[in-house]
Amino acid sequence: MTLIDLPGANADNQPPTLSVLVCTYRRPDGIEALLAALVPQVIGNPAREIVVVNDGTHSAQYEAALEPFMPFIRYHPLEENVGVAAARNVSASLARKDYIVFTDDDTVPPSSWLDWLSMLLIEHPELDVVAGTTVALLPDKPGFLANVRATHRLLPSTEDSGGTIIFATANVAIRRKLFEDLGGFGFPDFVGAGEDTELATRLSRRGVRSKFDPGWTTQHEVSESFLALCRRFRHYGFANGKLALMTTSPVEHDYMLDSAQTGWRTIWNWEYKELIAQARRRHQNKAVATLSAATACLVKMCYWRGVKDAVRLLPV
């Protein structure tokens, strides 16, 4: 399919200009894999660029990982670690194109990733935000936890929550002028989680023209340890719970205020009922399905631990 064959497009349509923004921290192998997949999608295309911000990780390993790609990217190392939200704001300030496209250094996009986005924006030039989602990047011989994450989608993902598109910065495109008008990421006191959810709710309240396209995907690594995954989901829970303290909190998150008062056994039963159904669809062996659901449920309970911790901060 050519661009002019697209429904709603014509020969006068021009491809949108795209700035792909990547912030990297302590993942030289991840940034190397990402750029190996991403750079071929921008070579020879002046409508596209890649901006990489190194959030204070300085090592010979990083230099070696980035060196082959330096002619095709704009690289900006920060002197010290400033955190993911501030680093993303720096990357956005360096962007030159119409749309800024965020992704992470633990993702690997398919070869059609930017073409898919370009075609969608040609067909729908009115869109301010396009949100995709992630799928598990399984190794050749995935371990048990990797399969659990794939089965239960324990990945950064996008949801359409009552008309509010809650996106992850692993896969989202935002009109640059709009991002600048909103002041970028500005969720205070969050450690590695929540700033994208807060921005998504501000965008929704602004009434922007947005679309969630589940067909626009990127692969996300599933190599974290169980403890690291639990810590991350606790951060997620704390982030979403803290949103309840803010005027930008979506109405759809209000259920957390009530749920956070619920006993652990009840929350476990809620989560396990859904997770065991997912596991049984994936695994014929009942014992494996039960263990998969229980493992995923433990991760989800860490999420709820974060929610409960945040909601305790609410005024009585």
Quick: pLDDT tens for 194-233: 788 889 988 988 899 999 999 999 999 999 999 999 999 9
pLDDT band of residue 311 (cuts 50, 70, 90) is: confident
74-91 pLDDT, tens digit per residue, is 999 999 999 888 999 999
C-alpha R_g of the chain: 20
The Cβ of residue 177 has, within 10 Å, a number of other Cβ atoms equal to: 12
Helices (H), 51-188: 60-66, 84-94, 113-123, 144-152, 176-182
**In which residue ranges of the chain is CATH 3.90.550.10 found?**
3-223
Three-state DSSP at 315 gives: coil
Measured distance CA(264)–CA(253) in Å, rounded: 19
SS3 category, 134: strand
Range in 41-45, 142-146, 251-255, 274-278 with the lowest mean pLDDT: 251-255
The span from the CA of 23 to the CA of 78, in Å, is: 10
Contacts of 122 (CB under 8 A, 6+ apart): 3, 6, 9, 13, 14, 15, 16
Give the number of C-alpha atoms closer than 13 A to the C-alpha of residue 316, restricted to the C-beta side.
Answer: 0
The mean pLDDT of the chain is 89
- CB distance 227 to 218 below 8 Å: no
Q: Strands 74-77, 48-54: parallel, antiparallel or unpaired by DSSP?
A: parallel
Average pLDDT of the residues in 62-76: 97
Nearest to 277 by CA among 263, 297, 261: 297
CATH for 3-223, options being 3.40.1190.20, 3.40.50.720, 3.20.20.70, 3.90.550.10: 3.90.550.10
Query: Comparing C-alpha atoms, which of 169, 102, 108 is closest to residue 139?
Result: 108
Q: What is the pLDDT of residues 150-188, one digit of tens each?
A: 999 999 999 887 778 989 999 999 999 999 999 999 865
Q: Are 107 and 31 in contact (CB under 8 A)?
A: no
Beta strands in 138-239 (DSSP E): 159-161, 164-166, 172-175, 210-221
CA–CA separation, 265 and 61 (whole Å): 46
Q: Are strands 18-24 and 99-104 parallel, antiparallel or unpaired?
A: parallel
The predicted pLDDT at position 251 comes to: 60
Q: Specify the amino acid at residue 83.
A: G
Q: What is the pLDDT of residues 218-275, one digit of tens each?
A: 999 999 999 999 999 998 898 888 877 676 666 656 666 777 788 999 999 999 999 9
Q: Residue 130 in 3-state DSSP?
A: strand
Q: What is d(CA 13, CA 146) in angstroms, rounded to the nearest whole number?
A: 42
pLDDT score of 4: 33
| The two structure tokens encoding residue 83 | 């955190």
DSSP 229-268: HHHHHHHHHHHHHHHTTSTT--GGGGHHHHHTTS-HHHHH
CB atoms within 10 A of CB 110: 15
